[in-house]
């Protein structure tokens, strides 16, 4: 438990200090399977993909991302907006099924002042749970429930593949 606690905290701290892979854009790097980044993509559909956040706020914290380097919602075409919405609906279905959260926070951060740490636009989907880990929980060692992102990735890849299969059967 001591090691686990340390891992969770140090990850967050190194992220806050800006230790990031040396690539011009981390999401373009994920889109192009650049080996310098930990690729936590769980699903790809057309020009969009869904990836885990490497430093999740909560288990199942996902981002829906256009593959092209786009900085603002105003650059998205209506077709892209519709596609993002459809993928959002699918993503919520998958997260409901795998994690059964009590609710979600969904949105974009635009600009550094908003707290965005990546310029490339991404729709954040953060599941919320009735009993959540907080910083004090980590410090007091009372609960450590943060899941390793690689474990999350495997679970969600399977769930997305199953959901995509179900969607294509419905479309026929
Ligand atoms: Zn980019």
Domains by residue range for the chain, with CATH: 2-171 (3.30.428.10)
Q: Is 122 a catalytic residue?
A: yes
Q: What is the pLDDT of residues 59-77, one digit of tens each?
A: 899 999 999 999 999 999 9
pLDDT digits (tens, 9 = 90+) for 87-124: 999 999 999 999 999 999 999 999 888 888 899 999 99
Lookup: tokens for 23: 């690539």
* pLDDT tens digits, 155-168: 999 999 999 998 88
Catalytic residue among 61, 69, 122, 158: 122
Q: How far is the CA of 27 from the centre of ligand 1 (A)?
A: 5
Q: Quote the mean pLDDT of the chain.
A: 83
Rounded to two decimals, the pTM is: 0.80
Q: Which residues are within 8 A (CB) of 67 and not within 5 positions of it... i.e. 6 or more apart?
A: 31, 47, 48, 49
- Ligand 1 (single-atom ion) residues, CB below 5 Å: 25, 27-28, 69, 120
The alpha carbon of 89 and the centre of ligand 1 are apart by a number of angstroms equal to 24
Under a CB-based contact definition with an 8 Å cutoff, are residues 40 and 133 in contact?
no
**Ligand 1 center from residue 66 Cα (angstroms):** 9
* C-alpha 71 to ligand 1 mean position (Å): 8
CA–CA separation, 126 vs 43, rounded Å? 17
Strands 103-107 and 123-128: antiparallel
Give the confidence band of 146 by pLDDT, cuts at 50, 70, 90.
low
State in Å: Cα 135 to ligand 1 middle.
Answer: 31
Contact between residue 52 and residue 38 where contact means Cβ atoms under 8 Å apart: no
């Amino acid at each position: 438990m001591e090691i686990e606690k340390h891992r969770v905290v140090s990850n967050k701290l190194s992220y806050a200090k800006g230790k990031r892979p040396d690539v011009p854009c981390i999401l373009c790097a994920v889109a192009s399977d650049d080996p310098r980044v930990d690729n936590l993509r769980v699903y790809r559909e057309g020009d969009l993909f869904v990836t885990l956040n490497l430093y999740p706020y909560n288990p199942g914290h996902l981002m829906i991302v256009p593959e092209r380097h786009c900085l603002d919602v105003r650059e998205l075409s209506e077709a892209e907006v519709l596609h993002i919405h459809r993928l959002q609906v699918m993503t919520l279905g998958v997260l409901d099924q795998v994690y059964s959260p009590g609710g979600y926070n969904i949105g974009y951060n635009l600009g550094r002042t908003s707290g965005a740490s990546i310029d490339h636009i991404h729709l954040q989907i953060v599941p919320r749970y009735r009993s959540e880990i907080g910083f004090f929980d980590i410090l007091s060692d009372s609960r450590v429930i943060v899941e390793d992102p690689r474990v999350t990735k495997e679970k969600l890849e399977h769930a997305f593949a199953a959901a995509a299969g179900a969607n294509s059967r419905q479309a026929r």
